Chain A
Amino acid sequence: MANKKAFHKKESRSKPLPAETDTLTEISKVIEQKHNTGSKKVEICLIVISLLFLFVMLLLPLLVVVISALKDGFTAYMNAVTDSYTIKALTLTILATVIAVVINTVFGIFAAWTISKYHFRGKQFLVSLIDIPFAISPVIAGLIFILTFGNIGWAKGLADLLGTKIVFAVPGVVIATIFVTFPFISREILPVLNAQGKDEEEAAALMGASGFKIFRKITFPHIKWALLYGIILCSARAMGEFGAVSVLSGRLRGKTTTLPLHVEILYNEFNTTAAFAVSSILVILAVLILIARNIVEYKKKQ
């Protein structure tokens, strides 16, 4: 397939003869005209459908959050957002997110590379195993670490041996975050690598390039964007994760509460406005990630 592509590219780059050029441009003009009339309608139609769907499914819930957050005025909003517990929760959320993204990026690249570039038995089984954290109910995702490292867990001795608390402490929060976002990056890269095939890498290998060099020079440019999407998805999900973290954190206010936990605690004590105000921080963080992505994309165009 890649071969075919390369062939196409070469052909399109090679200059057509002057006589052919005229006929070619004419043909393409006709095609364009024919398609533009039909495609404009389709285009508008699809854009409207998309915007409508997004408006109903995403924008309206977001509006509810924003309206509720500002219900008691801007001062109340600022008070909730600058509360010392909120700041601590924000710090912990960012810490957990950064660690989760880094570890999952390393894993994601290795896993996607292994799966797409080599032949081995049980490949589909491995892919499905990697997907498991998606398939696990968040309720259970936290519980499995409790059943492993908690007081009732079989590996409790191991945690004691390390001399650190894992569950109901910051490491537990981090581990839960890594777990729920574990497959994201490999999942994003994999379809791209599969679509790309491995002929280019194999050719490079036959020419004697090292594995790392092949990755850097051939594979990486292909997966750059998928990796970026993966990182964005992973960080968004890591920031917003509630279920698994809530089981492992122990909800020690100011110590192991992440932003989503803080939101829930505020909500449960009938402090609705503050709860939505704190949720809006998460929305703002998501927007910041979006801006960062746009900057990277802009630089690419330059």
Chain B
Amino acid sequence: MKGILSKKLLALSVTGLVLGASIFTGCGNNTEEGTAGEAKKVEITNVSYDPTREFYAAYNEEFKKYWKEEKGEDVEIVASHGGSGSQARSVIEGNEADVVTLALARDITAIENEGLIESGWIDQFEHNSSPYTSTIVFLVRKGNEKGIKDWGDLVKDGVGVITPNPKTSGGACWNFLAAWAYADKEFNGDEAKIKDFVTKLYKNVLVLDSGARGSTSTFVENGQGDVLLAWENEAFLTLKEKPNEYEMITPSISILAEPSVAVVDSVAKERGTEEVASAYLEYLYSDAAQKLIGENFYRPTNETILKDFSKTFNLNMNMVTINDFGGWDKAYNDYFNDGAIFDQIYTAPAQ
């Protein structure tokens, strides 16, 4: 009995070692194939952020068809989805992405700073390299018992707000800035009053999840709070799933969230995929792709196609952009850096 067991163990360990060796060598083979490869097939990797999967899954099919017609070449697109910031980090750390399609320009700038993307990427494609945009809206429970209509209602006593932490979720920076933009207008730029308003708002935050998806499940599945500050496209996804339980409220003022795209030049050059990578992003601006974008609840940047979706989107919203805050570098330093305004909301002694 003992003998059998120990023999089995020995056999198991031998198989394991062989297996181990084979993946290491196996991976070597794969990369060789990738570079030598057959001429008619090309593979690119798109490192993207979280809730874009369904859109890109549909778009990839569209692009494969287009590329086959155009060049007669089969293109395989490997998709990667995760939090925008951690995705950007993985590219910096060596994840070989041919293109990145992230939630905010800041994350792409971080890759640029490491020398992987050439400067000037933001002008490579139209509309600041943002083929689609979104904005921050409110999601409330059916009936809207607390009567939430605008940002001003969020600071009232007894209103429970759910929003992710901008320090762990890049996308949540848009939420904070949208609130700031409202207060800026309301108090005519009186910084003390704006700060006071935003502080009150975040004091009403019941749960500060680490990411947007976490906030949605806190609000939807776990029934916390009265209002969720959400990306418009994510709010639509919730409405699609539970149309009778929630309402979307568009505030008087919000921010134009511009997810950016860029070719990772160093990787694309090394792999010889520059042409297809650029085409992949360029084609996002085509009519077919713009329509797909609208169908997936992102706002198309093509004005005429955007108008086709006027039933879906509130096109009369007053929107500020990141440039109103002096660009990402300045905005991040002013509001989200360690010890900056967002931290002060929590660490400042209570009045």
Q: Do chains A and B touch in the complex (CB under 8 A)?
A: yes
A interface with B by C-beta (< 8 Å): 95, 98-99, 101-103, 105-106, 146, 149-153, 156, 162-165, 167-171, 174, 216-217, 220-221, 224, 227, 246-247, 250-255, 265, 267-270, 272, 300
- Tell me which of B13, B26, B27, B51 contacts A106 (CB under 8 A): B13
| 87-144 of chain B: CB within 8 A of chain A | 87, 90, 92-96, 114
B23 — which chain A residues lie within 8 A by C-beta? Answer: 95, 99, 170-171, 174
A99-B20, A102-B13, A252-B95 are known; give 9 further A-B pairs, CB within 8 A: A98-B19, A102-B16, A105-B9, A167-B95, A170-B26, A216-B6, A247-B86, A255-B78, A268-B213
> In the bound complex, how far is the Cα of B232 from the Cα of A8, in angstroms?
75
Q: Is B12 an interface residue (CB 8 A)?
A: yes
- Contact check, A253 vs B80: say whether CB atoms are below 8 A apart: yes
Bound CA span A130–B16, Å: 22
Please indicate the chain B residues that have their CB under 8 angstroms from the CB of A253 in the complex: 78-81
Assess whether B50 is interfacial by the CB under 8 Å rule: yes
Tell me whether A102 and B12 are in contact (CB under 8 A): yes
B interface SS class: helix
Instruction: Kindly report which residue of chain A lies nearest to residue B31, judged by CB atoms.
Output: A165
Report chain B residues within 8 Å CB of A174: 20, 23
Contact A164 B28 (CB under 8 A): yes
Interface-lining segment among B66-74, B178-186, B234-242, B300-308: B234-242
The 8 Å CB contact of B19, one of A99, A224, A246, is A99
CB neighbors of A among B209-245 (8 A):
211, 213, 216-217, 221, 234, 237-238, 241
B211 to chain A: which residues have CB within 8 Å? 268
- Interface size class on chain B is 35 or more
Q: Is the CB of B92 within 8 A of A152?
A: yes
Min CB distance A260 to B, Å, is 13
Task: Output the nearest chain A residue to B96 by Cβ-Cβ distance.
Answer: A168
> Could you say which residues of chain B place their CB within 8 Å of the CB of A300?
1
Assuming the A-B contacts A105-B13, A164-B27, are A269 and B53 also in contact, with contact meaning beta carbons closer than 8 angstroms in the complex? yes
Name which residue of chain A comes closest to B27, CB basis. Answer: A164
Please measure, in the bound complex, the distance between the C-alpha atom of A169 and the C-alpha atom of B26, giving whole angstroms.
11
B46-62 to A contact mask, C-beta < 8 Å, 1/0: 01001101100000000
Q: Once the chains bind, are A251 and B93 in contact (CB under 8 Å)? A: no
- In the complex, A252→B234 CA distance in Å? 23
Please pick, from B5, B19, B95, B213, the residue contacting A168 in the complex, using a CB distance under 8 A. Answer: B95
Which residues of B have CB within 8 Å of A103? 16, 20
User: B1-36, CB under 8 A of A: which get 1 and which 0?
Assistant: 110011001001101110110011011100100000
B93 touches A152 (CB 8 A): yes
Nearest-neighbor residue (CB-CB) of B97 within chain A: A250
**Known contacts A171-B24, A252-B78; A269 and B54 CB within 8 A of each other:** yes
* B113 vs chain A, min Cβ distance (A): 12
Ranked nearest first, the 4 interchain pairs of A and B with the lowest CB-CB distance are A102-B16, A150-B93, A250-B95, A151-B94
Shortest distance in angstroms between B261's beta carbon and chain A's nearest beta carbon?
A: 18
Given A152-B93, A171-B24, A268-B213, residue A251 in contact with residue B82 (CB < 8 A): yes
Are A224 and B2 within 8 A (Cβ)? yes
Given contacts A168-B90, A221-B2, A255-B78, contact A268 B9 (CB under 8 A): no
A165 vs B96: C-alpha distance when bound (angstroms): 10
Minimum Cβ distance to chain A for residue B55 (Å): 10
- Any A CB within 8 A of the CB of B321: no
Residues of B contacting A105 in the complex (Cβ-Cβ under 8 angstroms): 9, 12-13
Note all chain A residues with C-beta closer than 8 A to B237: 270
